[in-house]
Amino acid sequence: MATKTTTAQWIDANKASFLPPVCNKMLHGDGQLKVFYVGGPNVRKDFHLEEGEEVFYQRQGDINVVTLQNGEFKDIKIKEGEIFLLPGKIPHSPQRYQDTTGMVIERERVKDQEYDCLRYYVGETTNILWERWFYCVDLGSQLGPVIKDFFDSEEHRTNQPGLGSFMCPAYFEPDPVRQTEEPFSLQQWITKHRSELDSEGSKRLFDLTYQTDVLALGEGKLKAHNPRAETFLWQIEGSCEVEVAGELHTLEADSTLLVPADAVFTSSRPEGGVTISVTMDPLTKSRAFGHLNQ
């Protein structure tokens, strides 16, 4: 069954979850897509590494996502109202501050194939101090015990790699050449491309070197179906009617709908309607990592 949410009401009802020590709340977590909101403050030293991608949208306030790219640390500052797509295989450490709220979208990991890593570095260097690989089911609940293990470790006490630094070989290495793009204002992007949305009906926010399909849908009707992946529909402007399995859902601005995997659905927008569609099909992973096989 498709699940509709009015975002502002949901955030207000769950505002206590965005404060320390929890700082996050799942909007959708039981299926293939993981959609959650994160508050702050939450300043951390650990870095997260995964093969999938992450969509960031900063609803309130600014954050900084520290990344490791081409052997150097790089700050990705995401301002209020900006969207950013983090490629896979890039170590990253989101730094969130007080009175901030942001949405993050990622996908479930392929069983017995995809593993996440939580990694710490020696001081300000890129030398690995300590890491743990694990199959991620619920990142929010799994990170806590791993972080506790690090703070209880001899490596944390000495700030030097030791016998407990590595428990298994790495499942993959960080992408050595991929460069992130800069975050950009979602509203300004829509304004710039509005004529294309009206005439063509849809436009990608990010090109096909990414795994994730993030599309802006404009005036008109679109029929879609993905046998493996859920689709997250987020109404930005105007309204949209979505028919899923004979059931009609009306989306107003700032409401969302999660469409189940393998569901055929039709979305219709009158003039002025703009919907963001997010799909993360694991089979599109190869198009993002083709350069690693050359």
Write the pLDDT tens digit of every residue in 76-92. Answer: 999 999 999 999 999 99
Residue 140 clears pLDDT 80, i.e. is over it: no
**Was 44 annotated as part of a binding site?**
yes
Amino acid sitting at position 36: F
- Residues 92 and 116: their CA atoms lie apart, in Å, by 12
CA proximity to 120, closest of 161, 78, 178: 161
Mean pLDDT of the 176-201 span: 97
Residue 210 clears pLDDT 80, i.e. is over it: yes
CA proximity to 156, closest of 120, 117, 125: 120
**Was 252 annotated as part of a binding site?**
no
**Was 106 annotated as part of a binding site?**
yes
Write the pLDDT tens digit of every residue in 75-131. Answer: 999 999 999 999 999 999 999 999 999 999 999 999 999 999 999 999 999 999 999
**Was 107 annotated as part of a binding site?**
no
Give the burial class of 54: count Cβ atoms within 10 A of its Cβ; 0-12 exposed, 13-18 middle, 19 or more buried.
buried
> In the chain, what are the domains?
3-158 (2.60.120.10), 185-293 (2.60.120.10)
**Was 178 annotated as part of a binding site?**
no
pLDDT at 294: 58
Within 8 A by CB and 6+ apart from 248, the residues are 241, 242
Mean pLDDT of the 54-83 span: 98
Burial 3-40 (b: 16+ CB within 10 A, else e): eebebeeebeeeeebbeeeebbbebbeeebbbbbbbbb
- Residues 168 and 163: their CA atoms lie apart, in Å, by 12
Write the pLDDT tens digit of every residue in 166-178. Answer: 999 999 999 999 9
pLDDT at 178: 96
Do 229 and 105 touch, CB atoms closer than 8 A? no
- % of residues, the chain, pLDDT over 90: 92
Mean pLDDT of the 195-204 span: 95
- Residues 220 and 237: their CA atoms lie apart, in Å, by 14
pLDDT at 223: 96
**Was 194 annotated as part of a binding site?**
no
Among 8-22, 43-57, 70-84, 202-216, the range scoring the smallest mean pLDDT is 8-22
Mean pLDDT (the chain) is: 96
pLDDT at 137: 87
Two tokens at 19? 């404060």
